């Protein structure tokens, strides 16, 4: 969105962010031009007209298609720099950024190109933008576990600066248990573990992500509200859920923001925080998510402070960094 909301007063951590989902239409056109790539859209408006999604898959189709403009390390670096600049304005002081290496490897872009392009900018993010950052390699759950294991081994072999692994892409029909060996290997390698679960998929996928994969944090998780016993467990264990309100509306996981379960999740005592997911696609950055929540749901000062504090405490930042931000 163009209008920037005033940043929330509290420092925020953004814990659910796909760097490829920060690729704005203007940058898509600029990179296409730089790389001599012909886009299937005549102009920005024609591209923007494609951003009417009916579900997760209809979004993923455009998200993967637009990645065609990312060819060089400089492209990945420019995209990352643009996100950090905008996130700083939104009040983000710590960000844990997912990258989808398989979405680039399948297009003939090397692991070195995508990882080094993003990581080279993250290395100086605290000095340049005041944002501490961690990189998370996310695996596409609609591909095989063998493919994921191969890519994880390659990341480990190149000593990629990743803090953890995630699981994303088409959820329904690709349950967490499909990736049991991948997450076991990541654990052996000392990596942190997160997974998307309960966005479009059922509450049982959240349980599987916890019990079979051993995830420490759940991306989305909103469908936990259909299972009171699961909610009780998530509250008792203070399992972080990285909720993305504007994403849920755009992908029709919820009908409209007024129907979003966030207030009920807060009231239930769940450890929730607010994130932007794919801000270039879903109508805004984390400040826009807060602004629209405020105007539609009227969050209390108490809830706003709690959401911000949860984002910091649920992060994988060092205890020293958390203490600075809390
Ligand atoms: C995603 Cl919103 C969402 N869900 C699953 N996978 C994704 N990859 C990028 N955005
Ligand atoms: Zn996501």
Q: Are 97 and 135 within 8 A, CB to CB?
A: yes
Q: Is the CB of 20 under 6 A from ligand 1?
A: no
Alpha carbon of 279 to ligand 1 centroid (Å):
11
Please say if the pLDDT value at position 2 is more than 60: no
pLDDT digits (tens, 9 = 90+) for 99-149: 999 999 999 999 999 999 999 999 999 999 999 999 999 999 999 999 999
Q: What angle do CA 13, 317, 79 make, to 5 degrees?
A: 55
Please name each of the domains of the chain with its CATH number: 12-315 (3.20.20.140)
Please say if the pLDDT value at position 9 is more than 80: no
HEC string for the chain: CCCCCCCCCCCEEEEEEEHHHHCCHHHHHHHHHHHCCCCCCCCHHHHHCCCCCCCHHHHHHHHHHHHHHCCCHHHHHHHHHHHHHHHHHCCEEEEEEEECHHHHHCCCCCHHHHHHHHHHHHCCHHHHHCCEEEEEEEEECCCCHHHHHHHHHHHHHCCCCCCEEEEECCCCCCCHHHHHHHHHHHHHCCCEEEEEECCCCCHHHHHHHHHCCCCCEEEECHHHHHCHHHHHHHHHCCCEEEECHHHHHHCCCCCCHHHCCHHHHHHCCCEEEECCECHHHHCCCHHHHHHHHHHHHCCCHHHHHHHHHHHHHCCCCCHHHHHHHC
Q: Is the CB of 56 under 6 A from ligand 1?
A: yes
Of 278, 279, 280, 289, the residue with max ligand 1 atoms within 8 A of its CB, to mutate for a pocket test, comes to 278
Does ipTM surpass 0.95 in this model? Answer: yes
Distance CA(76)–CA(277), nearest Å, equals 18
Q: What percent of the chain has pLDDT over 90?
A: 96
Range 271-293 average pLDDT:
97
Q: Is the CB of 178 under 6 A from ligand 1?
A: no
Average pLDDT, the chain: 96
Q: Catalytic site residue 199? A: yes
Least confident of 3-17, 181-195, 279-293: 3-17
8 — pLDDT class (breaks 50, 70, 90)? low
Q: Which residues touch 29 (CB under 8 Å, ≥6 apart)? A: 39, 44, 47
Of 21, 223, 243, the residue with max ligand 1 atoms within 8 A of its CB, to mutate for a pocket test, comes to 21
> 243 forms bridges with which residues in the sheet?
274
Q: Is the CB of 168 under 6 A from ligand 1?
A: yes
pLDDT digits (tens, 9 = 90+) for 28-45: 999 999 999 999 999 999
Range 277-297 average pLDDT:
97
Q: What percent of the chain has pLDDT over 70?
A: 97
Indicate which ligand has the atom closest to the C-alpha of 281.
Answer: 1
Of 14, 59, 198, the residue with max ligand 1 atoms within 8 A of its CB, to mutate for a pocket test, comes to 59
Q: Is the CB of 200 under 6 A from ligand 1?
A: no
Q: Are 243 and 223 within 8 A, CB to CB?
A: no
Q: Is the CB of 287 under 6 A from ligand 1?
A: no
Catalytic hit among 20, 96, 199, 208: 199
Residue whose Cα lies nearest atom 6 of ligand 1: it is: 169
């Amino acid at each position: 969105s163009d209008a920037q909301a005033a940043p929330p007063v509290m420092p925020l951590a953004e814990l659910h962010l796909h760097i490829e989902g920060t690729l704005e239409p203007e940058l898509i056109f600029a990179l296409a031009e730089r790389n001599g790539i012909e886009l299937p859209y005549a102009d920005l408006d024609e591209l923007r007209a494609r951003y009417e999604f009916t579900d997760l898959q209809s979004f993923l189709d455009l998200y993967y298609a637009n990645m065609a403009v990312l060819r060089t390390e400089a492209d990945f670096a420019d995209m990352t720099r643009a996100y950090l600049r905008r996130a700083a304005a939104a009040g983000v002081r710590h960000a844990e950024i997912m990258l989808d290496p398989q979405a680039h490897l399948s297009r003939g872009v090397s692991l070195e190109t995508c990882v080094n392009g993003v990581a080279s900018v993250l290395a100086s993010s605290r000095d340049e933008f005041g944002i501490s950052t961690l990189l998370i390699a996310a695996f596409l759950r609609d591909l095989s576990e063998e493919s994921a294991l191969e890519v994880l081994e390659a990341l480990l072999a190149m000593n990629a600066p990743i803090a953890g692994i995630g699981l994303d892409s088409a959820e329904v029909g690709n349950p967490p248990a499909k990736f049991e060996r991948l997450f076991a290997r990541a654990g052996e390698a000392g990596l942190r573990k997160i997974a998307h679960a309960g966005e479009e998929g059922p509450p049982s996928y959240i349980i599987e992500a916890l019990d079979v994969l051993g995830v420490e944090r759940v991306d989305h998780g909103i469908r936990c509200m259909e299972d009171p016993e699961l909610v009780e467990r998530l509250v008792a264990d203070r399992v972080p859920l990285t909720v993305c309100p504007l994403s849920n509306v755009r992908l029709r996981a919820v009908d409209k923001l007024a129907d979003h379960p966030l207030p009920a999740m807060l009231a239930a005592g769940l450890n929730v925080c607010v994130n932007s997911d794919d801000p270039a696609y879903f109508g805004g950055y984390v400040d826009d998510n807060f602004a629209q929540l405020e105007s539609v749901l009227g969050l209390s000062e108490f809830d706003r402070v709690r959401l911000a504090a949860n984002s910091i405490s649920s992060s994988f930042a060092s205890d020293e960094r958390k203490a600075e931000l809390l």
